[in-house]
Amino acid sequence: MTKPEVLFFDVLGTVVDWRGSIAAEVSSFLARNNAAHIDAGALADAWVGRYDSSVEPIRRGLQSFATLDVVNLSNLEGTLEEFGLKISELPHAELVHLNQAWHRLKPWPDSVKGISNMKERFVVAPLSDGHTRLLVNMAKHGGLPWDTVIGADISRTYKPMPQAYLRACEVLGVKPHNAMLIAAHDYDLRAARECGFKTALVVRENARDPSKTGEPASNEDWDFSVGNLIELANILLAA
Amino acid sequence: MTKPEVLFFDVLGTVVDWRGSIAAEVSSFLARNNAAHIDAGALADAWVGRYDSSVEPIRRGLQSFATLDVVNLSNLEGTLEEFGLKISELPHAELVHLNQAWHRLKPWPDSVKGISNMKERFVVAPLSDGHTRLLVNMAKHGGLPWDTVIGADISRTYKPMPQAYLRACEVLGVKPHNAMLIAAHDYDLRAARECGFKTALVVRENARDPSKTGEPASNEDWDFSVGNLIELANILLAA
């Protein structure tokens, strides 16, 4: 295999623990707003459960691009109502603060070191549904050492549309066959491979996306399959 | 003054020593190609001297966007011919290697530390005529710790067109009055200020752009005027 020049990383689930981070912030939000009886993990799952269908019209070109800040806030409002809370009675600043939790997601324990090691040899960048500012804030918060950040606001679509992958390559001046996607989700790797990318699966506990049901277990032949990003760095740097 | 959220930096001349770096690479190119009798500094100045007029049709929307790699290579060929060298007799790989010198420009001695210090409190990003990949390569080469890199290929125009400044703000989700441009050239600061940016002049020896003649001495009232980036970091972090 020829060596890739650029390593692109899925972020939500692959680099950061979205579920642990969001459930913790939901929990403290519920406690502050007299709703500690609600299950924070269930509310977090229900919130993210609305994601996929809410961005589908953007993928299909039926709606103009909107950032995760916009999509997530709308889904949060619907989810809180579903769980019996009245949006009109909650302080707006509380909703905005909880929605901004997506800018503060915590890296998995191996992420900063793994990406730092890969950065010595390769260009490292996120390839995420997050927009540029969200990903920049998250990187500053968690110490993620990206070489650059190209958010979904640059391609103005969402994965797994080919344009999301191809536009990222275009901005970094790299051919898809000289790029690799590193991700914890098969649908993402499959779409990247269709575009010509090399692929590396990171097997993560707790990275399941509740908005994508019926995802089959990974048994495909990705270029690499690893347990964490330090392991991948060791393999790529030794190759 | 309200504090800025995002600090944008002009790069060529302000953060890196383009003239020293390019003159050194031109000198070794000339030595390798039996042309050591040519003055490397004069050739570097003549090369950059072609820059401004060659991107003017892009600024005015008369030509489609082309990256610095394309613009600089064409100008390099013209300059070498002007100095009496025959392009057709030079190895093409030599031309490409010299043209790539723009990806390897050296930071001024204060740049890495100054930007690192400012990164603790602010989002730091280049706002340059360089394209994303060139700026990423330069950052890796020189250790520039950008939070993200938004090249001219994102706005698809060149400074001082307002769109260059406004698109950078849009991508980082920041209003111009919450952004600051840090630059060594008045024309750049003036254009940013017209867009609503705060401004900081860095007085650099040897940052003069030979493609812009008749630039008056700086006597304008910028928000800050400093001798280097460590000094600016000290001021902004103390404020």
Which pLDDT tens digit goes with each residue over A107-124?
999 999 999 999 999 999
Examine residue B1 and state whether it is found in any structural domain, yes or no. no
Same-domain pairing of A151 and A56: no
Examine residue A122 and state whether it is found in any structural domain, yes or no. yes
Nearest CA in chain A to B6: A133
Say what the ipTM of the complex is.
0.91
| Yes or no, beta carbons of B132 and A171 under 8 Å apart | yes
Of A103, A138, A163, the position where a domain reaches its end is A103
Q: How far is A205 from chain B (nearest CA, A)?
A: 29
Position B239 scores a pLDDT of 81
Q: What is the CATH number of the domain that holds A172?
A: 3.40.50.1000
Confidence of residue A207 (pLDDT cuts 50, 70, 90): low
| Yes or no, beta carbons of B154 and A171 under 8 Å apart | yes
Q: How far is B38 from chain A (nearest CA, A)?
A: 33
Same-domain pairing of A53 and A143: no
B212 has pLDDT over 80:
no
Query: How far apart are the C-alpha atoms of B44 and B210, rounded to whole Å?
Result: 10
Same-domain pairing of B135 and B80: no
Position A209 scores a pLDDT of 62
B162 has pLDDT over 90:
yes
Position B213 scores a pLDDT of 52
B143 has pLDDT over 90:
yes
Same-domain pairing of A114 and A182: yes
Q: Which of A147, A153, A172 lies closest to B171 in CB terms?
A: A153
Contact map slice: A 118-157 vs B, CB within 8 A? 119, 123, 131-133, 135-136, 139-140, 146-151, 153-154
* More confident position, B229 or A218: B229
Query: How far apart are the C-alpha atoms of A115 and A9, rounded to whole Å?
Result: 9
- What count of CB pairs under 8 Å joins A to B? 55
Mean pLDDT calculated for residue range A192-217: 78
Tell me if B158 sits within 8 A of B59, measured CB to CB. yes
DSSP-assigned letters across all residues of A9-59: E--BTTTB-HHHHHHHHHHHHHHHTT-TTS-HHHHHHHHHHTHHHHHHHHH
Mean pLDDT calculated for residue range B128-150: 98
Query: How far apart are the C-alpha atoms of B70 and A90, rounded to whole Å?
Result: 55
Confidence of residue A43 (pLDDT cuts 50, 70, 90): very high
Q: Residue A188 sits in which domain range?
A: 6-17+105-238
Position A204 scores a pLDDT of 87
Mean pLDDT calculated for residue range A7-30: 97
Count of structural domains, chain B: 2
Examine residue B73 and state whether it is found in any structural domain, yes or no. yes
Tell me if B42 sits within 8 A of B36, measured CB to CB. no
Same-domain pairing of B122 and B202: yes
Query: How far apart are the C-alpha atoms of B150 and B152, rounded to whole Å?
Result: 7
Q: What is the CATH number of the domain that holds B68?
A: 1.10.150.240
Sheet holding A123-126, edge to edge: A123-126, A6-9, A179-183, A198-202, A224-226
Q: How far is B136 from chain A (nearest CA, A)?
A: 6
Tell me if A50 sits within 8 A of A210, measured CB to CB. no
- Give the best residue of A7, A8, A135, A172 to mutate against chain B (max B CB count within 10 A): A172
Tell me if B110 sits within 8 A of B182, measured CB to CB. no
Nearest CA in chain A to B148: A148
Confidence of residue B1 (pLDDT cuts 50, 70, 90): confident
From chain A, the residues in CB contact with B147 under 8 A are 136, 139-140, 149
Q: Is B189 helix (H, G, I), strand (E, B) or coil?
A: helix
What is the C-alpha radius of gyration for chain A, rounded to an integer number of angstroms? 18
| Yes or no, beta carbons of A149 and B154 under 8 Å apart | no
Position A16 scores a pLDDT of 97
Query: How far apart are the C-alpha atoms of B143 and B58, rounded to whole Å?
Result: 31
B75 has pLDDT over 80:
yes
Examine residue B113 and state whether it is found in any structural domain, yes or no. yes
Position A208 scores a pLDDT of 61
Position A2 scores a pLDDT of 84
Portion of chain B with pLDDT greater than 90, in percent? 91
Same-domain pairing of B27 and B135: no
Portion of chain A with pLDDT greater than 70, in percent? 94
Half-sphere exposure (Cβ direction) of A188: Cα atoms closer than 13 Å = 27
Q: Which of B131, B139, B174 lies closest to A147 in CB terms?
A: B139
| Yes or no, beta carbons of B140 and A148 under 8 Å apart | no
Position B78 scores a pLDDT of 98
Q: How far is A190 from chain B (nearest CA, A)?
A: 26
| Mean model confidence pLDDT for chain B | 94
Same-domain pairing of B116 and B226: yes
Residue B12, classified by CB atoms within 10 Å of its CB into exposed (0-12), middle (13-18) or buried (19+), is: buried
- Give the best residue of B122, B133, B167, B175 to mutate against chain A (max A CB count within 10 A): B133
Find tokens 């939790």 and name the residue.
A101
| Mean model confidence pLDDT for chain A | 94
Query: How far apart are the C-alpha atoms of A24 and A101, rounded to whole Å?
Result: 10
Residue A205, classified by CB atoms within 10 Å of its CB into exposed (0-12), middle (13-18) or buried (19+), is: exposed
B216 has pLDDT over 70:
no
What is the C-alpha radius of gyration for chain B, rounded to an integer number of angstroms? 18
Portion of chain A with pLDDT greater than 90, in percent? 91
Contact map slice: B 179-238 vs A, CB within 8 A? none
Pick the closest to residue A73 from A16, A117, A4, A134 (CA basis). Answer: A134
Give the least confident one: A45-54, A102-111, A208-217: A208-217
Position A99 scores a pLDDT of 98
